[in-house]
Amino acid sequence: MKLITAIIKPFKLDDVKEALRELNVAGMTVSEVQGFGRQRGHTEVYRGTEYKVDFVPKIKVELVTDDADAQRVVDAVVAAARTDKIGDGKVWMVAVDQVVRVRTGEMGHDAL
């Protein structure tokens, strides 16, 4: 199983949700976060002092999927979140050892 984490621009959340729904991804967790990357939060047309680093609001989407579906999910998220501008974000994948459904106690694939 894989944990897929995506940092995306806030206004892209609906597009990403839609793309995931089409893949029958059952659930996800969404949080409001802040961050910056290589451009330190500056836009292309930056007018402030070079040395300032600005945190920019982003959305973090997390979900756990089967190994077989993981790559497809990543591709879908990337395609849906892209605007071709700086600040589009990143997606990464991490191996998961164990998943448990709280209500029933099901584990592993059954819990997805």
Partner 1 sequence: MGRDFCAAYTKLADDLVAQLWTAATAGRGRVAGLALVAVGGYGRKELCPTSDLDMVLLHGGRSDRQVADAVAEQLWYPLWDLGLKLGHAVRTVREAVALAESHLETATSMLDVRPLAGGALTTELRQRAALQWRRHQPRWLNELHRSVLDRHARSDEVAFLLEPDLKEGRGGLRDVHALQWAGITGTENTSGPGAAADRSALTRLERQSLAEAAGVLLDARVELQRRTAKASSRLLLQEQDAVAHALGDADADVLMARVAQAGRTVAWISDEAWSRMTPATLEDAGKRPDRHPPGAGLLWRNGMVELAADADVPGDPGLALRAAAAAAEAGSRIGRECLERLGADAPDLGQPWPAEALRSFVRLLDAGRPAVAVMEALDQKGILVRQIPEWVAVRSRPQRNAYHRFTVDRHLCETAAHASERVVRVRRPDLLLVGALLHDIGKGFVPALGADHTEAGIVVVERLGQRMGFPPDDIATLVAMVRHHLLLADVATRRDLTDPATVTAVADAVGDPDLLALLHMLTEADSIATGPTAWSPWKSGLIDQLVTRVATNLAGGRPEDADEDFPTTDHLTLVGATEAGQITVRAGDGSLVVVAADRPGLFCRVAGVLTLHSLEVLAARAWSSPDGVAVEDFTVTPMFSGEPSWSRVEDDLRRAVAGRLSLESRVSERARQYGRNRGGGAATAHPSRTVIEIDNLASATATVVEVRTPDGIGVLYRITRALGSLDLDIRSAQVSTLGHEVVDTFYVVDSCGGQITDSAFAQEIRAEVLAELARA
Binding residues (CB under 8 A) for partner 1: these are 38-39, 42, 44-51, 86
CB of 43 to partner 1, least distance (A): 9
Residue with tokens 């694939």: 109
CB of 86 to partner 1, least distance (A): 7
User: What tokens appear for 55 in the block?
Assistant: 């945190």
48 versus 67: smaller Cβ distance to partner 1: 48
CB of 38 to partner 1, least distance (A): 6
Strands in 1-112 per DSSP E: 2-8, 29-35, 56-65, 90-95
32 versus 44: smaller Cβ distance to partner 1: 44
Among residues 64, 83, 71, 88, the alpha carbon closest in space to that of 7 is found at 88
